[in-house]
Structure 1
């Protein structure tokens, strides 16, 4: 086994030879790690360059399937590969998906915080650019959905069903 510069064993911790995470551990539909050898949910490939409309469609399918963690990966790819002027939009959408992920995992504080942060980001992007419906998405409606879900999560204090509470990206 190789070791990292800190002396830890790289292979024992899902790390490559330089100490970077390899993320080989199986995950459930909400992105939580499962024990090695367990059948997990197929991982969302990272670093895929998609047309923006394809990103929205694929993310919606994942959200509807109760996989907001995986939808976040799609938004993150768009954020990293898209035009500079849209990066804030995709980052905000990724925050909404992660907020739903945390809410579905029962993390009330983290879920509500990320839902509100993402709502603010997409609203601000829409007002700054004058584009309230990029790629057919209703950013005002998404922000309202996120704030409502954040309030519901804080009131109820429990988990939510991700697929049931998934937003409609396009109205």
Structure 2
């Protein structure tokens, strides 16, 4: 079954059902790591989360370096989570091993990377349904425009904001929430 349809199915189809479930916690969403192991977002309660749809053959790929710097600088209250996606210019064609090797060898990435998913469209993963739909995150709608779009979640699991690809990960627009 399509993961988004399955997730939406848990929300219900009426406006009342959507409103009642708008506060469904991000922590309840299931996704695997790049190595295929389930990630339990509950372990990150009390920390800010920054989700980024990543790709290894994109003009924004050098942001991996700044994402790692951001993770290292704010490791006590931030978890950076890369989410590989091949939907924009087919710029993430690699399999899990290739993605992991690329990130480690070229950028020294040690932050968490999930399995490769769809961030938009009919097969949109429930994580990105939560991040992009106000009816689910309770705050704001957005559309993922390109690789390296960023979504910031606060220490309580609440949606804060999103940032287009051109926003550097170490920008004060992001870091002001991490201090």
Q: Which has the larger radius of gyration?
A: 1
- TM-score, scaled to structure 2: 0.26
Larger relative contact order (C-alpha < 8 A, sep ≥ 6)? 2
The structure where helix makes up a greater share of residues is 1
The structure where strand makes up a greater share of residues is 2
